[in-house]
Amino acid sequence: MLTLPAFVLALALLIAVHEYGHYRVALACGVKVLRFSIGFGPALLRWTAKNSVTEFTLCAIPLGGFVKMLDEREAPVAPTERHRAFNTQSLRARTAIVAAGPLANLVLAVLLYAAVGWSGVPEPQAILASPEAGSLAARAGLRAGERVERAGFDQESMQTVQSFDELRSWLIRGVLDGKELTLELASAERAARRTVALSLRDLPDNEVNAELFRKIGISGPWTRPQIGEVQPDGAAQRNGLRRDDLVLSVGEVRIDDGRQLRELIRASASGGAPLTQTWRIERAGALLALEVTPDLRQDGTQMIGRIGAYVGAPPAWVTVQRGPLEGLWLGVVRTWDMSSMSLRMMGKMLVGESSLKNLSGPLTIADYAGKSASLGLMQYLQFLALISVSLGVLNLLPLPVLDGGHLMYYLWEGATGTRVSDAWMDRLQRGGVALLLMMMSIALFNDVTRLLG
């Protein structure tokens, strides 16, 4: 039920901020703004503010917006108002007006990320789960239950890590920049801290997704290997497992965390038949041994084991709250990181180094809008910040129909001293529309594929 209103609110807010950037800078440069529109199609609301010549409209299709300015290229302009037309402005003024929209989205992202930091948000603690077998973390000797205290790309610039989300950000930056990440670890079993280096430069950065984190070996925070809700008639219930049972070992394998237990359950059907094993568990302070035989389930082309119960307790949480300047700086850093990652991924898709499946369209955005809103205000604000970054970066791309395309024209004008001719602008606009429609079609196809899959 939250999906549609959360999606519409997100679009309306982000589009309004984008167009407001154009609008305010246009007024500051002395340009007459005729219309400020949120959405396309039939107008649902229409009004003109007192002492203003601008008509404000809210339209039925909230998939964009525009600011219509006085311009001799679109309609005749009276000689007395020619100085207020957009096309008569200096190169510097036109550049500022066009760039103001995407920059407004990036500034909004900074403020949203900062607001989340100022308010405080619960995040999983940076406690490591058992690393994936053969992964970078496993080869480096990371162990389940170790807490990441500090991280940095060299010993001299180590910074405190407050949550698992911060650790994930360090990992992404290390992969994208091709750097070695140093982690300072603390363990409840050992009083002394130790440092471990992860050579992230050896990993491909074609796609920042779950598969990349599996290769690193740090895909999620540590959880107790505890049984959660047990489904009726599932293998867990048939074999005597109960909610809150703490699993100590499976066969001869000691269990350190929930991730390890889930992987052992999945692998218990690797031979095509369920494997019965002895589970040692702790229940209400007593030690028990149960013979457990998982059910078989088809997962793609392979058979996996399932026990019909939630495996793993929720991770330990910490509320991360920032001071005024620290929160604002966090907003700048996260906006920069997300912008950089978006540009890199777009560049890799352009040259074929990354899959076009990474493109997402309105259906995926609507789905995530509803999911984030259902989790709470802070999660929804983080979603808004992410989409605001994406909108700002997308509009800065040098496509003729986007703000970045106009900035490309102005770059040519600044370098040559002459404006792009109307004939060339028409050709480039048509090419830009075709390319943008192709990108939208691919994104929509990916959306449908994800939802149906």
Q: What is the mean pLDDT of each run of 10 residues along the chain (453 residues)?
A: 86 94 95 92 87 89 88 90 94 96 97 94 91 89 92 85 91 84 83 85 67 86 94 92 95 92 87 85 94 86 88 91 92 91 80 73 84 88 94 91 92 91 84 84 82 68
* Res 271: pLDDT: 67
Question: According to CATH, what is the number of the domain 124-221?
Answer: 2.30.42.10
Q: Which amino acid is at 69?
A: M
Q: For strand 227-230 and strand 309-311, is the pairing parallel, antiparallel, or unpaired?
A: antiparallel
SS3 assignment, position 203: coil
The C-alpha atoms of residue 182 and residue 161 are separated, in whole angstroms, by 12
Residues 155, 183: Cα–Cα separation, whole Å? 9
Contact at 8 Å (CB) between 312 and 257?
yes
Task: Check if 124-221 and 227-311 are the same fold.
Answer: yes
* Domain spans of the chain, in order of start: 124-221, 227-311
CATH of 227-311, one of 2.130.10.10, 3.40.50.2300, 2.60.120.10, 2.30.42.10: 2.30.42.10
Measured CA to CA, the distance from residue 353 to residue 45 in angstroms comes to 46
Token look-up 């700086």 returns 329
The reported pLDDT for the residue numbered 121 is 85
CA distances from 68 to 53, 63, 372 (A): 12, 17, 34
Residue 188: its pLDDT value, please? 67
pTM of the model: 0.82
Distance of alpha carbon 154 from the chain centroid: 26
Catalytic residue, chosen from 19, 123, 132, 166, is: 19
72 is an active site residue: no
Question: If residue 12 lies in a helix (H) or strand (E), which one and from where to where?
Answer: helix 3-28
